Amino acid sequence: MAAPKWRIAMAADDAGVGYKNKIKADFENDPRVESVTDLVADGKADRALLICGTGLGVAITANKIKGVRAVTAHDSFSVERAVLSNNAQVLCMGERVIGLELARRLAKEWLGYVFDTSSASAAKVEVINELEKKL
Residue-wise pLDDT tens digits, 70-118 = 899 999 999 999 999 999 988 999 999 999 999 999 999 999 999 999 9
Output Rg (C-alpha) for the chain, integer angstroms.
14
Q: Would residue 3 count as lying in a domain? A: no
Q: Would residue 60 count as lying in a domain? A: yes
pTM of the shown model: 0.77
Catalytic residue among 33, 49, 52, 103, which?
52
Look up 52 and say whether it is catalytic.
Answer: yes
Looking at residue 3, what is its pLDDT? 65
In the β-sheet with 70-72, what is the strand arrangement from edge to edge? 8-12, 47-52, 90-94, 70-72
> 35: domain range?
8-133
At 62, which CATH number? 3.40.1400.10
Residue-wise pLDDT tens digits, 23-64 = 888 776 655 444 433 443 355 788 888 898 999 988 888 888
Q: Would residue 12 count as lying in a domain? A: yes
